[in-house]
Amino acid sequence: MKLNKETLKDKLVFLGTAGARYSAFGFLRQAGGIYFGFENSFTHLDPGPGAFVHSHRKGIEPYWTEVVLLSHRHLDHCADANHILESMTLGGKSKRGTLLCPEDAISQDPVVLEFVRKNVKETLIIKEGAEFNLGSFSVRFPVKNVHGVETYGALFSYKGLTLSYTSDTKFFEKLIEAYKGSDLLIVNTTLFKKNPLIDHLSAEEAKVIIGEVKPKLALLTHFGRGMLSAKPWEVALSIEKLTGVKTIAAYDNMVLDLNTLEVVKQR
């Protein structure tokens, strides 16, 4: 199903569900990030490799975008950021839009080129506890993650809903308190089994977070090879049975209706 500017409103689109190197750069799944159809404030979160192409294929014109948000500088989250920003500004012909990112994404060895950034109307630096009002929604960054580079999850407030995204992180107790009150919780569940050497959440840790936060709906995404081998939809079903929280494993090009928190059936 191809979207248009009207049908995109109040929708959330998974332009990819791959996580980490092997899945994202081995193209086991798409890695184009998540697109929020916030009314008058279309937002592209973590536009990884292929985001530009995957957007077009889904009917989303990148120049509709008003906000680009990078949770961190790892390339599976920002490889196409320059393409999306360049399209958003029509190659610099229209100075517009907002970029949100940690400081290290634009300082030393920047992942967003200065040439591209100068055409963006506003660049906002993410810090722990920072909150920004961006047209039809606001976003808050409750806690700094544990992930090797400066990384933040986000809580979006939109039309009375709290839509949360953990981004990539090692498990730590503050995560649970940070996301309590979420209506929708998107958990980057890269690992099937916990690995203390890797700063990513496992399926077991995702279960703990979901069970404590108790959102109306939990979505698993950002799958590594182990999670894909374990069949994410079966992992999600297991988490749902154990926590009592409706849990869905996202898939590439999945569309969620933000008004009902139901997956949109596509032809």
pLDDT in tens, 86-102: 999 999 999 999 999 99
Confidence of residue 20 (pLDDT cuts 50, 70, 90): confident
Residue 4 inside a domain? The answer is no
Residue 58 inside a domain? The answer is yes
Which residues sit opposite 249 in a β-bridge? Answer: 220
Look up the domain containing 162 and give its range. 11-263
Residue 2 inside a domain? The answer is no
Name the domain count of the chain.
1
**DSSP 8-state code for residue 147:** S
For position 149, which CATH number holds? 3.60.15.10
Residue 3 inside a domain? The answer is no
Give 116-165 pLDDT, tens digit per residue.
999 999 999 999 999 999 999 999 999 999 999 999 999 999 999 999 99
Cα angle 158-50-191, degrees, rounded to a multiple of 5: 75
- Strand, helix or coil at 162? strand
- pLDDT for the residue 108: 82
For residues 122 and 91, the answer to whether their CB atoms sit within 8 Å is no
Give 192-246 pLDDT, tens digit per residue.
999 999 999 999 999 999 999 999 999 999 999 999 999 999 999 999 999 999 9
Q: Share the mean pLDDT of the chain.
A: 97
Residue 1 inside a domain? The answer is no
Q: How far is CA 20 from CA 79, 170, 191, 226, 265, in A?
A: 12, 13, 10, 11, 28
Residue 23 inside a domain? The answer is yes
Alpha-carbon span 265 to 267, nearest angstrom: 7
Residue 113 inside a domain? The answer is yes
In terms of Cβ atoms closer than 10 Å to its own Cβ (0-12, 13-18, 19+), residue 167 is buried
Q: pLDDT above 70 covers what percent of the chain?
A: 100
Residue 254 inside a domain? The answer is yes
- pTM as predicted: 0.97
